[in-house]
Structure 1
Amino acid sequence: MADEEYEEELGEDGDEARPPRLRLSRRGVVVLVALGALLVGSLAWTVFFSSALDVRRVAVQGLDSGRLTQDEVERALGATARGPLARVDLDRARAEVAKVPRVAQVEVWRGWPHTLRVKVTERRAVAAVRADDGRFVQVDAQGVEFATEPQPPSGVPVVALQLAQPALDALPVIDRPALVRSAVTVAAGLPPDVAKQAGSLTVYSYDDIRLQLASGATVRWGSAEDTPRKSRVLTALLGRKASNYDVSAPDAPAVSG
C-alpha cells in the first residue's frame, strides 16, 4: 500500500511532483511595469514639483557677532529659498549669501523635509580705517572692507595715514591703498593679546609704520615685511616696561624710556 501511495506522488517520468510555476502573462508584466512607473512618477512629482516638500524654514548657523542677522541671510537668499526643497540650487544659494559683505565663508545644504540649512563664517575685523566722512571702515585679515560704522570696533587698531614728504613723493609708485594694506597686514599679524592693547597704527611711509598701545607706549614697526617674526619679538619685549619698543629690525630690537 505504501508503494502505491509513493507512485502516486511521482510524475510520469518518475520524478517527484512539483508545484506549478507562477508565470505572468505579457499583459500582467505590462500592468506591473505601468504601476511601477506610476509610483516612481508620483514620488518624483511629490518631491520635485508639489508643495508637500516645500522650503518652510531657513536655519542659519554662525551668527555669533550679533552684527549679521537671520533676516539679512534670508533676504540674500530671496527666491532661491522658495519652492520644493529638492529643487533649491545650492550653488546659487551659496553664491547669493556670499555676496553679503560680512560673510567670509558659507555652506548650504538640505535638511529634509522642509529646512534649508545655512552655515556662515563671519568676517572678523583686524583694523579700522578712518574714512573721509569720519566713520570707520572695518577690514579683515584679507584686506576686505566689509562694514562702515560711526565707531571703530573694540580690540582692533585704527589705521591712519600721516605721510612724510618722501612717502608723498613716492605715491605714484606706492599709493595710499597699498600703504593701508601694509598697515592691515601688520594688524592681522598682531598676537591677540597685543591687538587688544593696540590703539592705532599710523603709517608715515612704507617702511615707517608705528603702533600706539593703549598704555601710551609706541612700537616702531618699520615695514609690514617679516610681521610674524616682529610679532614674536614684540611679545617678548612687552615683558619689560618701557615707553618705546623698536622691532623694525627684529634681529636687533630695542627698548627705551
Structure 2
Amino acid sequence: MSGLQCLAQDKIWFDKSRYDEAERCFYEGINGVPSAPQETDANGVLQDVVKARQAIQQSLAGVKAALQTVKPHSRPQKPRERKSSQNVSRSEDQSELVSRVKSLELDNKNLHKVVDDLRAMVSKLESRLCMLEKSPSQASKAASVPQAAPAPKPSVVVKDEDDDIDLFGSDEEDEEAERIKAQRVQEYAAKKAKKPVLIAKSSIILDVKPWDDETDMAKLEECVRSVQMDGLLWGASKLVPVGYGIKKLQINCVVEDDKVGVDILEEEITKYEDYVQSVDVAAFNKI
C-alpha cells in the first residue's frame, strides 16, 4: 500500500500543456501570426490529452479516497467475543478494496502510457507546424529579394602556413587569363563568321497606269519587265480595270532592300513615257 499512497499524494501539473497552448495562442494573436490549417488537428489531439488527464485525475482521486478509508492507523484491539461473521465480512471488504486498487493501478499505468503517446504526437505536430510556418515566409523572402550574382573569388595562393596570402595573384596567372580570353574571342568571331547572313527582302505590288484606253498594255508590261537590276525579281501580273475602258497593270516583284529601292524602280519604269503615265505602290511587305 505504500506505493499507492505515494501515487495518491503525488501532485502533477497535468494542465501544463493547456496553459502553454493558451499562452502561445495569446502571443500569436498579439503578433498577428495567422493560424495554420494543421492547428485544428493539434487542437483535437490536445482535447484528447485533456480528457485523458481528467480521467487520470478522477482515478487518482478514487485511489486517494480508498486509501483514506483503509489507512493503517493504530486500531484498538477488539474483544475476542466478536462474531466470526464480522471478521469474514471485513476480510471480504478488504480483498474487494485491494482488487479495486489493483485495477485502478493498472488503469493508471495504461493512462500514463496513453498520455506519453499523446505527448509525443503533439510534439511531432508542433515541430511540423513550425516547419510549415517557416517555409512560406522563407519562400516569400527569397522571391522578394533578387538573387545577386556570386562575387568572383579572388585568386589566393597559399604556400605555407607562415607565408603571406597573395590576394592579387601572380603575373603568370594574368598572362594565362589574357591568353584564354583572346582565344575565346577568336573562337566566337570564327563561329559568328560561319553563320549565314540574313538578306532582308520585300515584296512590292506596283500599279502601272497607262495614258488612255488605246495604250498597248502588252507592250507596257514588256517595258516594265525589261527593267533588270541586281536583287530584283519580277513576279505575276494582271490587268485591273480602272474606268472608261482604261485598265492598269498590277505587277508583283521581290527586291533586296540593300540593293533595290522603290524610288529607283519608279524612276526606271517612268522612263517609258510613251506607255507609262504613273507608278504607284499598292502594297509593300517585308519578307
Task: Tell me if both proteins adopt one fold, taking TM over 0.5 as the criterion.
Answer: no
Bigger relative contact order, structure 1 or 2 (CA pairs below 8 A, ≥6 apart)? 2
Return the TM-score normalized by structure 2. 0.22
**Structure ID, larger Rg:** 2
> Which structure's residues are more often strand, by fraction?
1
- Which structure features the higher share of helix residues? 2
TM-score relative to the length of structure 1: 0.23
